[in-house]
Structure 1
Amino acid sequence: MAPYYANDMVWKAVYAQACHELRDAMDLAYLTGQRPADVLGMRKDDIVDSYLLVTQGKTGKRLRIQIEVDGEQNSLGKLLKRIAQGNEGMLSPFLVLSRNGRRVSWPMLRNRWDEARSKAASETEENGEPDLAVRIWQFQLRDIRPKAASEIRDVADASVLQGHSKGELRYRRVGAVAKQVK
C-alpha cells in the first residue's frame, strides 16, 4: 500500500472545519515538520532570539527552527506572532491553547480532529465528491509531518527539519518535479 499524502484539497477541507486550536496545531505541525505530540508541548519560552527550539519527544533530538530570515519573519514567525496575539492574557506557557486558555491535550486535539474531519468528509460527500470524502477520512494527524517533508524543495532541509541524521529522509517525497525528456 502506498503511503498516504494529504493533497491541498484534503488539507483545505479539514482546515476549513477546524476550530482555532486545531488550526494552530495543524499550522505548527506543517511549518515545523514535527509530530503532533511535540507540537502540543511547544511553549512560549521555546522561542529564543530568531528560533523556535524543539526537543523531539520520540528521539530526544534538539532542533533550532528559524522564525526569521534576514530580519524578516518567515511563515513560522508570522504564525507564532498570530498565536501569541490570540493567547494574549492567558496564563499557560503553551502555544496551543483552547479559547479559555487551557492547554490542549492529546485527547482534546484528537476529538477536535475527528470532528473537523467528519464535518469535512460529510460536506464533501453532500457536494457529490465521494472520492475526496474517502481521502478526507483517510487523513490522520500524523500525515501532516510527511506532507511537510514532501513539500520542502530541498531534501536536505527536510531531513534537518525532521531531525533525521545525514540527510536520511524516512518519508517518500510526493510531488517532486521532473522534467520531460525533450
Structure 2
Amino acid sequence: MTNKYPNLRSHTRKRKSGRVVTYYFYDRRQNGEPDIPLGTDYEQAIAKWEEIRKGGPRIVGTIEEAFAAWEGDKEGGLPSYQNAETRAGYIKCLKKLRPVFGAATWESVELVHLTGYLRRRTAKTRGNREMALLQIVWNWARKEGYTAVHWPAAGLEKSRWKNPENAREFEVTDDLFEAVYQAGDQVLQDAMDISTATGMRIKDTINVPLPDGDLLRLHANKTGKKADFDLSLSEILPSLINRRRAVRAHHLMLLSTPTGRPVTYTMLRNRWEFAREWAALNVAAAGETELAERIRAMILRDMRKRAGDLSESDEAASQLLQHSSVNLTRKHYRTKVTRLRPVR
C-alpha cells in the first residue's frame, strides 16, 4: 500500500507459464471485510480505486464489475480475441446482458434466471450465444478472483436448458447456383468459384493472397488454421488465377476488381444481393415462382455449404471445410440427400 492510494494492495505471482502477474486489491481487512479485486491492469485498478474512494458508480461485487474488467483484459478478455468479427459479436452480446445481469450479485443469479432470460428472448439463437458469453465471463471472473461462485448451469450441458437450435437446411442446387452466378459480375463470380472450389469462408476469399506457384495457401481468419490447395487438381482455379495475374493491381490479394482494386465484404454483399434479386426476377418472369423464392432464400455463406455437398464423402467434406468433427459437417453442411442402391 502507498500513501498516494490508501488501501491499494498488490500481489505478484508467477504463473505456470513463467509469466509474472500483479493482482491489485482494495484492502478492507481493517473493517473485517474481504478485499475487493481490482484486476491486473494498473490503470484500471486505479480507476476502480477512485470509484470506491470517491463514491462513484457502485459496481464492486456485481457482475458488471467483471464485464468491465473482462472488456479491458488484453490477455484473457475481449481484446485477446484476434478475430474482429468475434469481438464485435461479443460486444453485441454484452449490450443485451448488461441491463439484465449487470447489477446482480454473483450469489443472486440461479439457473432459473438463465432459463427465464432465454424464454423471454425473442431471438432464440442469439439468446444462446449471449448465455455462452455470460458463461465465458463468469469462468474468467472465477479465475481472476472476482467471485468463487460456480456457473449456475455447471454440469447441465446435456440437459437441454438452452433454446433448441435447428440446423439450416438449404441445398444449393445447380439451378440455384447458376441463376445467381450468371446474374453476377466477374468479382462475384470469382468469389463464388473460390468458395465453392475450396470451401473457404467468404471473408477468407477476400483475404487469400495471390499464389506465386501451384499452391494456394489459406490461413483461415476465423480459426487460424492453414491449408494448401493443389491448383493442378482444380478445373476452375488455374484460369481464374491466370486472369488475376494479368490485372495491374496495387494489392496482393487473389480476389480483385478488373481495375485492380481490393475487394471488401460490403462490395461482395452488395453484388450478391443485386445478382440474387435479378436472378429471382428473371425466373419469376418465366413463371417459375417457386424457384424464385428459393433463390431469394439463398445466402452468400451457402457457397461454403455447396463445397461440402460437392465433396465425394462426409469425411472429404469435413477435411475440406477444416472441421474438427465429421458430425458437425453432416449436421450443418452436407444437405444433399444420400442416394442408396437397392440390394435386389
* Structure 1 length-normalised TM: 0.87
Aligned: 1:43 with 2:195? no
Counterpart Cα distance in 1 of 2:181 and 2:207: 21
Which residue is 2:227 aligned to?
63
Tell me the amino acid that sits aligned with residue 238 of structure 2: G
Distance 1:101 1:142, change over 3 A: same
Aligned: 1:165 with 2:314? no
Tell me the amino acid that sits aligned with residue 33 of structure 1: G
Aligned: 1:52 with 2:211? no
Larger RCO of the pair (alpha carbons < 8 Å, separation 6+): 1
Counterpart Cα distance in 1 of 2:338 and 2:219: 29
Deviation, structure 1 residue 156: 2.3
Distance 1:5 1:98, change over 3 A: same
CA contact (8 A) 1:65 1:161 kept: no
CA contact (8 A) 2:171 2:335 kept: no
List aligned pairs for 1:52-91, cutoff 5 A.
52-69=216-233, 74-85=235-246, 87=247, 89-91=248-250
Which residue is 2:310 aligned to?
151
Distance 1:100 1:77, change over 3 A: closer
CA contact (8 A) 1:63 1:161 kept: no
Q: What's the secondary structure of 1:54's corresponding residue?
A: strand
Deviation, structure 1 residue 51: 1.5
Counterpart Cα distance in 2 of 1:120 and 1:98: 22
Structure 2: gaps spanning 5 or more residues: 1-165
Counterpart Cα distance in 2 of 1:16 and 1:56: 28
Aligned: 1:12 with 2:178? yes
CA contact (8 A) 1:42 1:54 kept: yes
Aligned: 1:180 with 2:339? no
Aligned: 1:27 with 2:193? yes
* Structure 2 length-normalised TM: 0.48
CA contact (8 A) 2:314 2:334 kept: no
Deviation, structure 1 residue 125: 0.6
Counterpart Cα distance in 1 of 2:276 and 2:235: 28
CA contact (8 A) 2:214 2:232 kept: yes
Q: What's the secondary structure of 1:52's corresponding residue?
A: strand
Deviations 1:43-101 (A, max 9, x none): 11xx25431110111111111111124xxx6433333223333x2x2222112112221
Deviation, structure 1 residue 135: 0.5
Structure exhibiting the larger radius of gyration computed from Cα positions: 2
Counterpart Cα distance in 2 of 1:68 and 1:48: 14
Q: What's the secondary structure of 1:114's corresponding residue?
A: helix
Q: Which moved more, 1:95-104 or 1:125-134?
A: 95-104
Tell me the amino acid that sits aligned with residue 61 of structure 1: K
List aligned pairs for 1:127-142, cutoff 5 A.
127-142=286-301
Counterpart Cα distance in 1 of 2:259 and 2:195: 22
- Say what the alpha-carbon RMSD is for the aligned residues: 1.9
Counterpart Cα distance in 1 of 2:264 and 2:239: 24
List aligned pairs for 1:119-130, cutoff 5 A.
119-130=278-289
Structure 1: gaps spanning 5 or more residues: none
